[in-house]
Homo-oligomer: A and B are copies of this chain.
Amino acid sequence: MYTVKDIYRWLDEYAPFRYAQSWDQCGLQVGDPQFPVERVLVALDPSSAVIAEASERNCRCLVTHHPLIFQPLRAVRLDVFPGSVIGRAIRSGIHLIAAHTNLDAAKLGTNHQLSELLGLQNVQPLESEDVWREQEQYGGMGRTGVLPESMTVQDVMLLCERVLHARGVRMVGSPDRQVRTVAVCTGSGGGMLQQVIDSGVDVFITGDLKYHEAQRALEAGLALVDVGHFASERLIVEPLVNYLKARGQSKRKPLQVFAAKCERDPFAGHAGIWHYRESN
A sample of 14 cross-chain residue pairs with beta-carbon separation below 8 angstroms, ordered by A number, consists of A32-B77, A34-B79, A69-B73, A69-B75, A72-B72, A85-B219, A165-B279, A168-B170, A175-B268, A217-B266, A265-B280, A269-B274, A269-B275, A271-B271
- Contacts A28-B75, A29-B75, A218-B47; A211 near B168 (Cβ below 8 A): no
Q: Which residues 239-280 of A sit at the B interface, judged by CB distance below 8 A?
A: 264-275, 277, 279-280
Residue in contact with A269 in the complex, picked from B84, B170, B265, CB distance below 8 Å: B170
| Beta-carbon nearest neighbor of A232 in chain B | B211
CA A37 to CA B6, docked complex, whole Å: 40
Q: Identify which of A33, A48, A172, A266 gathers the most chain B CB atoms within 10 Å of its CB.
A: A266
CA–CA, A72 to B274, complex, Å? 36
Integer count of this chain's copies in the complex: 6
> For window 156-191 of chain A, which residues contact chain B by CB distance below 8 Å?
157-158, 161, 165, 167-172, 175, 187-188
- Complex Cα distance A215/B72, Å? 18
Does A210 lie within 8 Å of B229, measured CB to CB? yes
Q: In this complex, which of A31, A76, A165, A277 has the most chain B Cβ atoms within 10 angstroms of its Cβ?
A: A76
* Contact indicator A272/B74 (Cβ below 8 Å): no
Contact indicator A78/B172 (Cβ below 8 Å): no
Residues on A facing B (Cβ under 8 Å): 25, 27-35, 45, 47-48, 66, 69, 71-81, 84-87, 90-91, 95, 154, 157-158, 161, 165, 167-172, 175, 187-188, 207-212, 214-220, 226, 228-230, 264-275, 277, 279-280
By the criterion CB–CB under 8 Å, are B75 and A168 in contact? no
Q: How far does the alpha carbon of A78 sit from the alpha carbon of B35 in the complex, in Å?
A: 10
Whether the pair A169, B215 counts as a contact (CB closer than 8 A) is: no
Q: Is the CB of B31 within 8 A of A170?
A: no
A171 touches B268 (CB 8 A): yes
Q: Please, how many angstroms separate the alpha-carbon atoms of A41 and B271 in the complex?
A: 31
A208 touches B211 (CB 8 A): yes
